[in-house]
């Protein structure tokens, strides 16, 4: 193992910024130092997996996922293990979330929504045919590659905490549940909002169980009929994927996916929880006490093109789960000022290396708001600061950032020719 420029190396991969995190795992940007390929690595905590007695489940699903080769499913390349962690190497998808389009535009045209829905059903049907069920299909799992092709993430590995609750439930039908979620997603794509909404949980459940929703006036008649068949609360009468694929609305412009076959070796999967494994086969992770260095590709992948103003601004018209700003202050000073600003707002702060974890004390709409903060070195005199919601409500995170940014105006660097306004960096334009 070798470390350079503030990087952590695991096997032949240099780890970079965190792309997302949950209770059981986090996902990091990584680069294969042999091939130069950029990938994403999901990192699981072995102790948590052992605690919930999920070793057999995870090995089975990782094995299955490694065998899946589908154009609309993120591909798994290999699996590595250290004494405490499991590293799952996957495709890196750089086109952002499909629902960022909804956040910025409101809704999609019916033909565009159908195109993405067809790709989603292709992925779901393929995985179901191989005994793999998602169990937690939601907007965050629908990504777009650089060519605008839909890629579904986390098949078989989604929401491990959810799996703990449902695996022992013999009445749970993963296929029916996935299809229902696809119906909700189609509705959101076309409407721009959820079919079922209520501030209280029990009334919300009642609406779902009664299929108490109405389609907007701009939905075509055939689309309305299909969505009602998918969102049928009775799994036994709900439309099947086979019937869905033969539906006239679905078939319009439909292009069946092309598959590839390949020989896949599962030795790495079988060895990840093998305690008798030769210690020399385990990978080692080590990190320098300095901010991670962000290379050019990572910098561009966080932005839309090469506009640094776009990179560091909070995009208007959308509420996202992460935001970032630039600063010319030293990294330790940046973190100290964020810590000082977050404390009076009711957040407990944990500091480790060049990262902060901000944990809200008050319960929110979707649990306590938690925010992961990390400082990256872009150049020796310029840092990128990323704040990312790791738990809680996205809108509450947006409000938090708007509030804390007022106390960080002396921290945020504004590029020449721009002005800082509220929590955004806006470029001045000539009239």
Instruction: Output the known binding site.
Output: 42
- H/E element, 297: helix 296-301
Contact 114, 252 (CB under 8 A): yes
Indicate left, alpha or beta for 254 from its phi (over 0: left) and psi (-120 to 50: alpha): beta
* Helices and strands (H, E) in the chain, number of each type: 15, 16
Contact 311, 303 (CB under 8 A): yes
Q: Which of 413, 303, 327, 412 is nearest to 376 (CA)?
A: 327
Task: Give the CA angle between residues 113, 101, 222 to the nearest 5°.
Answer: 15
Cα→Cα distances 223→188, 204, 211, 218, Å: 13, 23, 16, 10
DSSP result, 370-411: EEEEEEEEEETTEEEEEEEEEES-HHHHHHHHHHHHHTTTTT
Longest dimension (CA), the chain: 70
Listed in order, strand segments (DSSP E) in 133-285 are: 142-144, 150-152
Binding-site members for ATP are 42
- Map residue 367 onto helix, strand or coil: strand
Cα→Cα distances 424→143, 314, 427, Å: 25, 5, 10
Contact 354, 290 (CB under 8 A): yes
Spell out the residues 6+ positions from residue 137 whose beta carbon is closer than 8 angstroms to its own. 124, 152, 158, 178, 181, 182, 185
Cite the active site residues. Answer: 136
DSSP result, 300-364: HHTSSSS-HHHHHS--TT---SEEEEEE-S-HHHHHHHHHHHHGGGTEEEEEETTEEEEEESS--
Q: Which of 163, 160, 138 is nearest to 88 (CA)?
A: 160
- H/E element, 13: strand 13-21
């Amino acid at each position: 193992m070798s470390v350079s420029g503030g990087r952590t190396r695991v096997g032949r991969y240099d780890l970079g910024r965190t792309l997302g995190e949950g209770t059981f795992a986090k996902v990091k940007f990584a680069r294969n130092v042999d091939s130069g390929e950029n990938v994403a690595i999901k990192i699981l905590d072995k102790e948590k997996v052992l605690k919930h007695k999920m070793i057999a489940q995870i090995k089975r699903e990782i094995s299955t996922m490694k065998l899946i080769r589908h154009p609309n499913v993120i591909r798994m390349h290999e699996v590595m293990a250290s004494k405490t962690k499991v590293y799952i190497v996957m495709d890196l998808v750089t086109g952002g979330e499909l629902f960022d389009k909804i956040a910025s535009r409101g809704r999609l045209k019916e033909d565009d929504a159908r195109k993405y829905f067809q790709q989603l059903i292709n992925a779901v049907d393929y995985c179901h045919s191989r005994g793999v069920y998602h169990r937690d299909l939601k907007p965050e799992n629908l990504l777009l590659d650089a060519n605008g092709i839909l890629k579904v993430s986390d098949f078989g590995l989604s929401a491990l905490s959810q799996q703990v609750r449902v695996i022992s439930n013999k009445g749970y039908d993963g296929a029916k549940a996935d299809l229902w979620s696809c119906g909700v997603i189609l509705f959101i794509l076309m409407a721009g909002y959820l079919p079922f909404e209520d501030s209280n949980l029990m009334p919300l459940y009642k609406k779902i169980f009664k299929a108490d929703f109405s389609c907007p006036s701009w939905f075509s008649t055939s689309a309305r009929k299909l969505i009602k068949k998918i969102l049928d609360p009775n799994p036994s009468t709900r439309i099947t994927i086979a019937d869905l694929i033969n539906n006239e609305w679905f078939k319009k412009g439909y292009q069946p996916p092309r598959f590839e076959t390949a020989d896949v070796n599962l030795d790495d999967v079988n060895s990840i929880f093998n305690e008798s494994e030769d210690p020399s086969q385990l990978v080692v992770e080590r990190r320098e006490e300095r901010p991670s260095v962000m290379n050019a590709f990572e910098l561009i992948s966080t932005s839309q093109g090469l506009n640094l103003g776009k990179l560091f601004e909070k995009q208007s018209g959308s509420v996202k789960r992460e935001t970032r700003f630039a600063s010319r202050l030293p990294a330790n000073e940046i973190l100290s000022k964020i810590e000082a600003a977050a404390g009076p707002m009711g957040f407990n702060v944990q500091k480790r290396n060049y990262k902060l974890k901000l944990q809200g004390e008050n319960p929110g709409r979707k649990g306590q708001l938690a925010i992961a903060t990390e400082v990256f070195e872009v150049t020796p005199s310029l840092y990128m600061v990323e704040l990312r919601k790791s738990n809680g409500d996205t809108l509450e995170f947006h409000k938090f950032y708007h509030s804390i940014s007022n106390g960080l105006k002396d921290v945020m660097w504004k590029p020449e020719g721009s002005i800082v306004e509220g929590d955004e960096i806006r470029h001045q334009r000539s009239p």
